[in-house]
Structure 1
Amino acid sequence: MRNEQVAFSERLRAALQRAGLGESPVELVRLLARFGGEPVSQQAVSGWLKGRAMPRQANLRALAKMLSMEPQQLQYGDDARRVREGKGEWRLDPRDQLAIEAFLQLPTAQRKLLRHLIDEFVKSAANGRKP
């Protein structure tokens, strides 16, 4: 079991790095809850990161969703590295993914306003100006 925990820890830390996330248990506890995970302590997350423990299945699924991976890939590894990018989705920072999900829940008028605001930011950036 110990080798399985260490291997999981290595896959988790590598996936966090690819996603542009640090290994902060505080941040991971917060993000885990937002991706449908069960409440867990910072010490438990630290155990996952250090190869001392494995998450329960609900938290494994939430971690995988947060990292745009299949749960079995995170748990067992997979040289094929199947990611959602190949299915027409992009690999996003989990915080951006949450922002997009929140955007999609907004009423139509507010979404239209935010799209306009984003367009203005893009135009400003293209012209080398600060918004």
Structure 2
Amino acid sequence: MTEKSEFAQRLRSAMLAAGYPDRPAVLEREFNSRYWGRSVTFQAVSRWLRGESIPSQDKLQVLAEWLRIEPQVLRFGERAGVTVREQRGRWEDPKFYQEREVIETFLGLPAQQRKVVREVVMALALAAKANGEGER
């Protein structure tokens, strides 16, 4: 199964789960009533449902919000959503507060200083890997 056809299957399933028939006319009407950009055509949404194309990210966001599904799950499948939630959960874990603070400070540094810090961190990671030391 191709990436486009898998997306089409998820889109149809999400429409049905949200209580809408998985028909192009319904998708066109509901999408265009929520999208602030240029309206999409019946042919465009038909291609989405047939697995011939995947909408751009801005359109995917609108679809996901309408269908009450995480955008990454709609686009890439449930495994992607689980991975994002796991990473977000780890990032938001209070025991990683100091690391978050360091990363935010790092991002505020000038480019040349970020480069130096990055090189030091990569060297430390390489040394730890060589010594058989892993993540917590």
TM-score band by shorter chain is 0.5 to 0.7
Equivalent-residue separation in structure 2 for 1:37 and 1:69 (angstroms): 19
| Shift of residue 13, structure 1, vs aligned partner | 0.7
Question: What is the aligned partner in structure 1 of residue 68 from structure 2?
Answer: 68
Contact persistence 2:5–2:51 (CA under 8 A): yes
Number of residues paired by the alignment?
81
Matched AA of 1:65? E
Equivalent-residue separation in structure 1 for 2:36 and 2:48 (angstroms): 14
Matches within 5 A, 1:1-131: 3-36=2-35, 38=37, 39-79=39-79
Q: Percent identity?
A: 38
Equivalent-residue separation in structure 1 for 2:57 and 2:80 (angstroms): 22
Distance 1:37 1:58, change over 3 A: farther
Please provide the CA RMSD for this pair.
2.1
Larger radius of gyration: 2
| Shift of residue 68, structure 1, vs aligned partner | 0.3
Matched AA of 1:14? S
**TM-score between both structures, scaled by the size of structure 2:** 0.54
Which runs of no fewer than 5 residues in structure 2 stay unpaired?
83-136
- Runs of 4+ with >4 A deviation: 79-82
| Shift of residue 49, structure 1, vs aligned partner | 0.5
Distance 1:37 1:9, change over 3 A: farther
Distance 1:78 1:18, change over 3 A: same
Q: Say which structure is richer in helix.
A: 2
Distance 1:61 1:37, change over 3 A: farther
Equivalent-residue separation in structure 2 for 1:66 and 1:6 (angstroms): 21
**TM-score between both structures, scaled by the size of structure 1:** 0.55
Equivalent-residue separation in structure 2 for 1:59 and 1:37 (angstroms): 10
Which runs of no fewer than 5 residues in structure 1 stay unpaired?
83-131
